[in-house]
Amino acid sequence: MQYSTINGTRALPFPKGKGNCEICSAETVSKCGEKVMWHWAHKSKLDCDPWWENETEWHRKWKERFPENFREIVHICDVSGEKHRADIKSDKGIILEIQNSPISLEELRSRERFYKNLVWIVNADKFKSRFNLYLKTYLPNPNSKEFDDIVFVPTNNAHSCTTFWRRSESQKSLSGSVQIYSARSLQILTNRHYIGHHPFFWQRPHIAWFEAQCPVFLDFGSDILWQLEKYRGQFHCVRAIAKEKVIHDIISKAKTQNIADDHSIMKD
């Protein structure tokens, strides 16, 4: 934990510090060694929040992008009284969960039901070597009418695409067969309708993220985040969004549905 309470006031860790947990009020002690990130820990060694994971430097850097009064905020269910410590909770009620490790589908659904107005930030650097992002293959705005005749074909991992066929050609075909085209052949037209979407191939993916109902942003360590999206209900793709744009919108907006509506996108 980055914060504990001392006489009712939130405090950062300091050498030989003692405080109390904001959730359970149990005694906490500061950990301020030379080789560890300074933090608070329960004196009993057991954290009262089962959703809390050990904090990494990546976690801490993400939290420090937000105002101090947004960090590690206790969120309480109005009905059950259940409490959990959110990584970030904006003053407008958006919850940001900064997830370094894989998560089970059961826990993902539990957190989304509990927090509701939630955004996920996932440390994608941990599986970067297994994630092939097709930067030179653009996908058009999924709401563009010019592409209503196009049906993109998922690859064998069922989460992306690099080819397509045309509905109009299928209707004319007596045999029922269709011509398959490379998605790159659409690049000139796609450029005019591009708003950041790209196909990808993820070897041994973390399946839970494909089931998320709340926005999921993959962080590979650059200034661009990649939002995991279902493209036209057919397959998953990712959408490029400037990291600072997402952070700004989490701070300033009240609903996750509005996060990064006006994208700052990356384009070759």
pLDDT digits (tens, 9 = 90+) for 137-161: 888 999 999 999 988 887 666 566 7
Angle at 223 between CA 221 and CA 225, to 5 degrees: 75
pLDDT at 265: 55
pLDDT at 134: 86
What's the rounded Cα separation, in Å, for the pair 34 and 135? Answer: 41
Residue spans of the chain under pLDDT 70: 45-47, 155-160, 173-176, 262-268
pLDDT at 156: 63
Q: Please report which residue ranges of 50-206 form alpha helices under DSSP H.
A: 57-63, 105-115, 167-172, 187-193
- Supply the pTM of this predicted model: 0.82
pLDDT at 207: 92
- C-alpha closest to that of 98 among 110, 109, 85: 85
